Amino acid sequence: MKLIRFGEVGKEKPGVQLENGTRLDVSAFGRDYNEDFFGTDGLVQLKDWLAKNESSCPRVDNSVRLGAPLVRPSKIVCVGLNYAKHAAESGMAVPKEPVLFFKATSAIVGPNDDVVIPKGSQKTDWEVELAVVIGKKASYVSEADALDHVAGYVLHNDYSERAFQIEREGQWVKGKSCDTFAPVGPFIATKDEIKDPNNLHLWLKLNGETVQDSSTSDFIFNVQEVVSYISQFMTLLPGDIISTGTPFGVGLGFNPPKYLKAGDVVELGIEGLGTSKQTAKAYSGK
């Protein structure tokens, strides 16, 4: 099953996308895609409800805006430097254990919403990433059981302001959490739709030119390892997002570095998880 949310900003409704690409409004199901939904067998209940009610669900036109395919979660936990070539282009050592940082949930936007270059930014960068959506509370989970706690997977662009992230004092979170820096979607693919999350093609284009082109088979720490590892330090709640890192090809790695400017168009995708597209806009103060 593919979960979507659609409509105006702040007024999104839950929906599903069928195998043929048709989008359906499932508001009549009565539940949105939040912590309670993921944590109380909402996926199973929605599937059963759809089997009986699909024919009566209104269709959603493809021209309607897609929002993030879940309600704002309790946290976004990100894994840094999780591809060896990306660590090298960043001038950093391959980590011996996962590098973790948070990204503010207020950065979440729809998959095709504009990305706003922050006030004072000179070094806004892109990062195509596979994100994991937690489906069951996870604390001290083993690698063998890790996927039992996953609801599904979603495309995420982990936008980063490199000066804020690396050149300013403190932690990476400052360079990761600006408004619009977490476009998520177009849909969450439930776990059964993705045969092997550790072997997915992912790519990103800047103004039509492919700059990232890799596979999650290049993970240093795979999905099971990451879910288990994070759960040793914090409880993962249903609906939480884990973003698993980006491959080589970010702007920071070019010589000279290449960063976003107003008008740039970023397109990205992951095998089985669709595509998204953001246009860079200058901060306007509004």
Residue for token digits 């007024």?
11
Of residues 91 and 56, more confidently modeled? 56
**Mind listing the pLDDT tens digit for each residue in 30-87?**
999 999 999 999 999 999 999 999 999 999 999 999 999 999 999 999 999 899 888 7
Q: 70-282 is classed in which CATH architecture?
A: Alpha-Beta Complex (3.90)
Give the pLDDT band of residue 286 (cuts 50, 70, 90): low
Nearest-angstrom CA–CA distance, 214 and 10: 34
**Mind listing the pLDDT tens digit for each residue in 219-258?**
999 999 999 999 999 999 999 999 999 999 999 999 999 9
Which pLDDT value is given to residue 89?
Answer: 79
pLDDT > 90: what percent of the chain? 92
Which pLDDT value is given to residue 171?
Answer: 87
What is the DSSP-derived secondary structure letter of residue 166?
Answer: I
Domain spans in the chain, listed from the N-terminal domain onward: 2-66, 70-282
Which pLDDT value is given to residue 38?
Answer: 98
49 CB burial (10 A radius; 0-12, 13-18, 19+): middle
> Does residue 81 contact residue 245 with C-beta atoms inside 8 Å?
yes
Please determine, for residue 114, whether its predicted confidence score (pLDDT) is greater than 90. yes
Q: Stretch 107-123: mean pLDDT, rounded?
A: 97
Average pLDDT, the chain: 96
Contacts of 162 (CB under 8 A, 6+ apart): 123, 124, 125, 175, 251, 252, 257, 259
Please determine, for residue 93, whether its predicted confidence score (pLDDT) is greater than 90. no
pTM of the model: 0.96
